[in-house]
Chains A and B, each alone.
Chain A
Amino acid sequence: MGVLRRHPALVPGLLFAAALLLAPALAERGTLNDLWNMAFFVVLAAAWNLLGGFAGQVSLGYSAFVGIGAYSTVLLANAGWSPWLTLPVGALLSAAFSVVVGLPTFRLRGPYFTIATIGVGEAVRVIASGLDFTGGSSGVRMPPATFDFNSNYYAMVGLALATLALVAWLQQNAFGLALESIRQDIDGAEALGVNSTRVKLEAHAISSALVAVAGSLYAINFQYISPGSIFDFRLSLTIVLMPIVGGMGTLAGPVIGAMLFSYLQIKLLASPALRDSYLFIYGGLLIVVMLFEPRGIMGLWERLWSRLPRRRSPAIAEARGAG
């Protein structure tokens, strides 16, 4: 149990993971759907955070990768593949595309990179709506009888947990340090021997592959995709908002953001009055976070925590008493 003592954050994480994995035996289908949705958002947010949070390369074009995963699955399944076998194909295609996109755009810095990624995302959507083999703007359907909710649930929750484990492992690695150094000062990082382009490309490839697998599972779950649903700018937007609101560049931030947003989405879809104001809520959140606490909920938490009057440990009290 030494590991647990050294990493106290593992305890709630493991309990949470166990609860998620046991849920199908206990909970109803409606609750499971909500949990599936939450896991989907956790994958997207945590994967995006690898490049956007740790390395500070804010991309607004991630729906392209969700779409590549989803389209690979549907098109290959229609060609007779087993849906599960299509997951690695989508991931590889997405990673390859991330390199194609990254090679030119990673030469740009800060906001210029962000705006170029809006362009890339839009171009992919426009092209996917115009091509014949993607079914154009009307979309494509999975072949019938390729769907089993329980296995999809386990796959999505497993993917979310694996993503978090991977991000946590990368974070305390030399790779995580390299990403952090790029965010703080890219020239300084280069001077210290970090090959920033290579590191950014690797982070981009890893996160886009994870996002593509989530897209594939999305397609299997909903059985139907179209450029309007999967390449939607709103999806790119949500992917970015979750880590920003939760706290960019932290492990827990994207999870908190994803839980908040899946809850919001469920509430928003349930009430007609709120459904019409989701952009207002998202935009308002973005404005408030950027004006008052750019480090999101995690930053707010840290600030409040440090202000909290707290009991001093006996050793310190003793030292003070003696002094």
Chain B
Amino acid sequence: MQKFVVVALNSLLTAGLYATMSYGLAVIYGVMRIINLAHAGLMMLAAYATWALNDRFALDPFLSMVVVAPAFFLIGMGLYATVIRFLPRSSTGPSMQSLLLLFGLWLVLQNLAYAIWGGDTQSILTPYTMESVRFLGGRYGVPQILVFGVSIVSLVGLNLVLRRTFLGKAIRAVTQNRDAAMLSGVNAGQIAAVAFGIGTAFAAMAGSMLSTLYAFTPDFGRSFLLKAFCIIVLGGMESFTGVAVGALVLAFVENFASAYTSIPVSFQDAISFTLLVVVLVAAPGGLPGLWRMLDRRVVAR
């Protein structure tokens, strides 16, 4: 029981990070029907930016998010204006062309990091990196707890923006039905630019937080991108509640699989990839789709 509580709390802490990491992908997918493969490159770049700020100005990685996130919001808008905007729109689903283009963008970002910072492994050490807190018989690292806190704050903030402001309502409208939103006077192109900026800013926040937990190189982020993708597929691609649930599911599966089975730690990443393939195949609609399907079966009886 003791072990169960510890593993469950650890999963919860991981889930916060996972959710932040995935919201950016979900916002961009919702508004533009694009799978942003460059997400991984943006997370990596933000990790380096955080590291550079810490290295030069001894700025705390969590405080540096105040600078990094808005900066990446602008970078995202810039990317939209220079590259993404020219992609042909597809209404049915993400096109192969957009996927490969963003993949190319990811490679360019990787090379940028190699050129600026070299290929050495970097990590951020703060006074509290090794600190931990005792709670209900388990020990939890201070960085993990801070990451969880920041994640919750940012997610609540995003949710408030999406539900209470005109901009947020416009983003949700375009996500639900682009044509209807445009008929109601929403400038869909502008909304797409803002959504790409928000998605990039969330990638940046996730990157800053990841830099406090893991060491990184310019190749960093691929496994996290796959995890984020697994989460938004689980969550049904568009629903924001779905993303939170998907993050919880993945975090619990990963943590419990490595705590209760003999799967070695080195295979932990393979768990999420396997889960991704299983979910894509068995429940392409994600958990909401599965729920609807079960619901329908029950009603049919």
Contact = CB atoms under 8 A, between A and B. Distances in A.
Nearest to A290: B101
B280 A116 contact: yes
B111 A279 contact: yes
Contact of A111 (B35, B104, B105): B35
Interface string B254-275: 0000000000101101100110
Interface size class of A (residues with CB under 8 A): 35 or more
A305 B111 CA distance: 35
Q: Which of A115, A126, A277, A282 is most buried by chain B, counting CB atoms within 10 A of its CB?
A: A115
Nearest to A113: B280
A279 B114 contact: yes
Q: Which of B35, B101, B278 is most buried by chain A, counting CB atoms within 10 A of its CB?
A: B101
A116 B277 contact: yes
Contact of A110 (B93, B264, B273, B277): B93
B10 interface: no
A22 interface: no
Contacts of A277: 111, 115
A287 interface: yes
B94 interface: yes
Contact of A112 (B106, B267, B284): B284
A126 B229 CA distance: 18
Contacts of B112: 280
B271 to A, nearest CB: 9
Contact of B273 (A58, A119, A129): A119
Contacts of B35: 111, 115
B264 A111 contact: no
B104 A282 contact: yes
B223 interface: yes
Nearest to A104: B281
Contacts of A122: 222-223, 226, 269-270, 273
A126 B222 CA distance: 13
Interface residues of B, number: 43
Contacts of B69: none
B267 A130 contact: yes
The main secondary structure of chain A at its interface with chain B is helix
B273 A233 contact: no
A286 B86 contact: no
Contacts of B270: 122-123, 126-127
A126 B94 contact: no
A257 B226 CA distance: 28
B145 interface: no
Nearest to A107: B281
Given A116-B277, A122-B273, A283 B96 contact: no
A276 B280 CA distance: 36
Contact of A284 (B97, B108, B273): B108
A23 B277 CA distance: 46
B155 interface: no
A283 B107 contact: yes
A158 interface: no
B214 to A, nearest CB: 16
Nearest to A287: B104
A130 B266 contact: yes
A124 B273 CA distance: 10
A174 B249 CA distance: 45
B100 interface: yes
Contacts of A56: 96
B264 to A, nearest CB: 6
Interface in A80-127: 104-105, 107-112, 114-116, 118-120, 122-123, 126-127
B276 interface: yes
Given A110-B95, A283-B104, A284-B104, 7 more contacts: A58-B96, A112-B284, A130-B267, A279-B111, A283-B103, A290-B98, A290-B101
Task: Please provide the 3 A-B residue pairs with the shortest distance between their CB atoms, ordered closest to farther.
Answer: A286-B104, A283-B107, A279-B111
